Chains A and B, each alone.
Chain A
């Protein structure tokens, strides 16, 4: 066999680079990864309607990103959407009565959870439940409400 070791080495590196690229595509680019920041705590928030909120949507406070949505489930006994928010451990001083609302970034942008701190002494801890929530605005509901009000106003 006249094959030099460097040829085999280069082909091995090529195959490894190709497989590494596939791995990057699977883990970093697509939704296969479930990478979690090392230091974080989880709180839950219940919403009547989460609109277009998705897993991995950002969680912000005062416009600054402090975490992300880790999971979204539907509670079929209370008929509410239950979201699990994963918040960076650095921001561990949110009061118990912090409220969570779902907003939209820009007109067509993605939806995110905005936290507004309250004034309580106790702070949110891992596993706590945010009980003050405001559901996402659904454009169709707003429009139909507006039309309905207008129609009933004309009738009088």
Chain B
């Protein structure tokens, strides 16, 4: 009995010390960002591995998500004789929700896990300590460029996802199912607002990019320096990032669109 309560206490203390470590880590990372801006080649190399190499999976996923939405939406809307509204359904669901959320989940799996594994392995092979010995701050040299690259890539990737998704819906809805071309775009343009929908989607993707990258670099930096520890840290990155994205999405949606 007493052991069980002690266990709860130990876990809570561990949880809160980790939370505190991650916030201190974030502050140190943000402090390292000005030095990254002085050495932009570090940032560009990370933009390549975090952003460019994620582009293909994001674009392909966006295309298929848009196509499926058009197919499902059409089957439901045609029952009401409202298949002209297909463009609205596809555009609003992608721009408001699916674009930022699915991009963030894919980003956590594709780029976040790679960041954690890379940084964790650097720690396990004592490359980070080696840098400190050479008076190179790994926060400035390793962590900050990766964090900034993830934060900048996410909104661009989410925008690509949304744009490709809307065209995927267009191909299926207009090309295969015979929805009127003009009604698809005109109803969409009448219903989607730049500030209300597109801008809020971009804000969501910025927040998700911040959180996912933060979790990824922190888990890597905080990993137990063994091969098992790195593998656990990578798993934690994907799980925690996915949970954080989905939870935050509800909060952001309630703030932006809900009258809660």
- Which A residues have a C-beta under 8 Å from some C-beta of B? 1, 3, 7-8, 10-11, 13-15, 17-22, 24-26, 28-33, 54-58, 65, 68, 105-110
Q: CB-CB < 8 A to B30: which residues of A?
A: none
Q: With A25-B159, A26-B198, A29-B198 as given contacts, are A58 and B182 in contact (CB-CB < 8 Å)?
A: yes
Point out which of A14, A24, A55 has the most chain B C-beta atoms below 10 A from its C-beta.
Answer: A14
> By the criterion CB–CB under 8 Å, are A21 and B163 in contact?
yes
* Chain B binding surface SS class: helix
Partner among A1, A14, A25 whose Cβ is within 8 Å of the Cβ of B55: A14
B213 at the interface (CB under 8 A from A): no
Q: How far is the CA of A106 from the CA of B81 in the complex (A)?
A: 6
The residue of chain B having its C-beta at the shortest distance from the C-beta of A25 within the complex is: B198
Further pairs besides A7-B48, A14-B47, A65-B180: 18, Cβ < 8 Å: A10-B52, A11-B48, A13-B52, A15-B156, A17-B156, A25-B95, A25-B198, A29-B166, A29-B188, A29-B189, A56-B186, A57-B186, A68-B186, A106-B84, A107-B80, A108-B80, A109-B81, A110-B84
Q: CB-CB < 8 A to A107: which residues of B?
A: 80-81
Q: With A32-B194, A65-B182 as given contacts, are A22 and B51 in contact (CB-CB < 8 Å)?
A: no
Q: How far is the CA of A29 from the CA of B187 in the complex (A)?
A: 10
B114 at the interface (CB under 8 A from A): no
Q: With A11-B51, A58-B183, A110-B84 as given contacts, are A31 and B41 in contact (CB-CB < 8 Å)?
A: no
> By the criterion CB–CB under 8 Å, are A33 and B189 in contact?
yes
Give min CB distance, A77 to chain B, whole Å: 28
Q: With A1-B41, A17-B160 as given contacts, are A30 and B194 in contact (CB-CB < 8 Å)?
A: yes
Q: How far is the CA of A106 from the CA of B146 in the complex (A)?
A: 53
Q: CB-CB < 8 A to B85: which residues of A?
A: 109-110
> By the criterion CB–CB under 8 Å, are B190 and A14 in contact?
no
Q: With A18-B157, A26-B198 as given contacts, are A31 and B189 in contact (CB-CB < 8 Å)?
A: yes
B202 at the interface (CB under 8 A from A): yes
The residue of chain A having its C-beta at the shortest distance from the C-beta of B43 within the complex is: A11
B155 at the interface (CB under 8 A from A): yes
Give min CB distance, B178 to chain A, whole Å: 15
Q: CB-CB < 8 A to B156: which residues of A?
A: 14-15, 17-19, 21-22
Q: CB-CB < 8 A to A8: which residues of B?
A: 44
Q: How far is the CA of A9 from the CA of B166 in the complex (A)?
A: 27
